[in-house]
């Protein structure tokens, strides 16, 4: 019997299910896991191929676990997502992906993550010639990955409904990648890096919530009208009246990142890594311009969804990144 267009079968049906499953795993979010390379790059330890291999395995393991988290989150949030103007297009919420298919993919992705993590025990990167370097610790990476997954599931089940707590969790997910990357190459992130990154990640998390509030309740947000529980973001605890507070916290976090970076550039740690550390001063201005521009665009309703996704596609951000790399090269 020939397959009808409304009920595809065979190869076309499998291809459609595969495409929907891949979309539900959110491969566009996988580049976030490249953060595991930051400790290696910040420690000037990128000259060994085995370190790059270890970082690649770590990023892939995080991608597999993150995809599991996305699938579980979408399964739990399907009803709330159907009420959201953009999330209702997600594969599970829209009906393009059956819940059973998503559930069946979870064990396979977890096994893949376990295999990639086990492979790290077979890679033996040398101890970096950087201050504070230690032997790589695959066990430390595995523990961090497990902690990330535990927090992520707690976030999906409950914590995402708690204002403030939810953005702290989102920031924590990013920081977990930095910590995991430190274990992979034996270069634990310094307090300076963690403080700077934490402020940047927090402003990005708050930017995501602010953009969502503006998308859902544009007029109420701009008029500062009081919110009610009936007007909360579906599946979240934020209300329209929270937007000014989110904006204030986000801008404050952006400037906090600039303060931490300024203090870091004045520290002995920088002088140990760079021959001309004063040439890095311009980086503070570049970072502050980029983060404050992000909030300016968010306030004007130009950012929809995840700010990090916007930054990855934004040519101005790429130009700022290139200028930052040029300054770091000139300071060596």
Is 147 among the domain residues?
yes
Q: To the nearest whole percent, how much of the chain has pLDDT over 70?
A: 91
Report yes or no on 6 lying in a domain. Answer: no
Q: If you average pLDDT over residues 294-308, what whole number do you get?
A: 88
Residue 291, helix vs strand vs coil: helix
Same domain for 77 and 172, yes or no, is yes
Nearest to 194 by CA among 10, 35, 26: 35
pLDDT of residue 35: 93
Q: For residue 143, what pLDDT is reported?
A: 96
119 shares a domain with 253: no
Q: Are residues 214 and 130 in the same domain?
A: no
The pLDDT confidence band at residue 229, using thresholds 50, 70 and 90, is very low
Is there a single domain that holds both residue 84 and residue 52?
Answer: yes
Clarify whether residues 307 and 254 are in a common domain.
yes
Give the residue numbers spanning the domain of 158.
29-189
Cβ-based burial of 327 (10 A; exposed 0-12, middle 13-18, buried ≥19)? middle
Whether 137 and 209 share a structural domain:
no
Instruction: Give a yes or no: residue 321 inside a domain.
Output: yes
Tell me the average pLDDT across 2-22. Answer: 70
The answer to the question of residue 12 being in a domain is no
**Residue at which a domain ends, from 146, 170, 189:** 189
Q: Which residue has the higher pLDDT, 281 or 80?
A: 281
Let me know whether 270 and 322 are in one domain.
yes
Report yes or no on 326 lying in a domain. yes
Element (DSSP H or E) covering residue 94 = helix 91-94
At 32-42, the pLDDT tens digits run 899 999 998 88
DSSP-assigned states of every residue in 144-157: HHHHHHHHHHHHHH
Quick one: which of 156, 146, 190 has its CA closest to 44? 190
Tell me the whole-structure pTM to 2 decimals. Answer: 0.83
Q: Are residues 71 and 40 in the same domain?
A: yes
What mean pLDDT comes out for the span 252-281? 89
Alpha carbon 318 to chain centroid, angstroms:
17
Domain boundary among 140, 169, 189: 189
Same domain (yes/no): 280, 164:
no
Structural domains in the chain (count):
2
* Domain's final residue, options 169, 189, 209: 189
Model confidence at 225: pLDDT above 60: no
Band of the pLDDT at 199, cuts 50, 70, 90?
A: very high
Lowest mean pLDDT among 70-79, 147-156, 230-239: 230-239
User: Could you tell me if 284 and 144 lie in one domain?
Assistant: no
């Amino acid at each position: 019997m020939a397959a009808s267009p409304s009920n595809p079968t065979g190869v076309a049906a499998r291809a459609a299910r595969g495409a929907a499953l891949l979309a539900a795993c959110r491969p566009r979010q996988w580049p976030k896991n490249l953060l595991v390379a930051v400790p290696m790059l910040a420690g000037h330890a990128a000259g060994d191929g085995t370190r790059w291999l270890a970082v690649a395995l770590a990023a892939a393991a995080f991608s597999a676990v993150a995809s599991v988290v996305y699938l579980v989150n979408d399964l739990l949030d399907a009803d709330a997502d159907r009420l959201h103007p953009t999330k209702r297009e997600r594969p599970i919420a829209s009906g393009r992906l059956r819940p059973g298919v998503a559930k069946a993919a979870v064990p396979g992705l977890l096994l893949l993550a376990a295999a990639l993590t086990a492979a790290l025990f077979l890679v033996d990167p040398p101890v970096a010639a950087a201050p504070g370097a230690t032997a790589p610790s695959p066990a430390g990476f595995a523990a961090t990955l497990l902690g990330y997954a535990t927090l992520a599931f707690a976030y999906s089940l409950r914590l995402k409904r708690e204002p403030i707590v939810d953005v702290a969790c989102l920031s924590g997910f990013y920081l977990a990648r930095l910590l995991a990357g430190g274990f992979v190459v034996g270069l634990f992130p310094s307090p300076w890096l963690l403080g700077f990154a934490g402020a940047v990640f927090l402003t990005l998390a708050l930017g995501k919530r602010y953009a969502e509030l503006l998308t859902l309740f544009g007029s109420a947000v701009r008029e500062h009208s009081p919110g009610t529980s009936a007007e909360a973001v579906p599946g979240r605890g934020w209300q329209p009246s929270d937007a000014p507070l989110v904006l204030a916290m986000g801008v404050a976090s952006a400037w906090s990142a600039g303060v931490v970076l300024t203090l870091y550039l004045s520290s002995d740690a920088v002088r140990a890594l760079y021959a001309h550390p004063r040439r890095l001063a311009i980086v503070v201005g570049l970072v502050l311009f980029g983060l404050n521009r992000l909030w300016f665009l968010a306030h004007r309703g130009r950012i929809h969804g995840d700010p990090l996704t916007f930054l990855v596609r934004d040519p101005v951000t790429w130009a700022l990144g290139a200028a930052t790399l040029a300054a770091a090269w000139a300071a060596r």
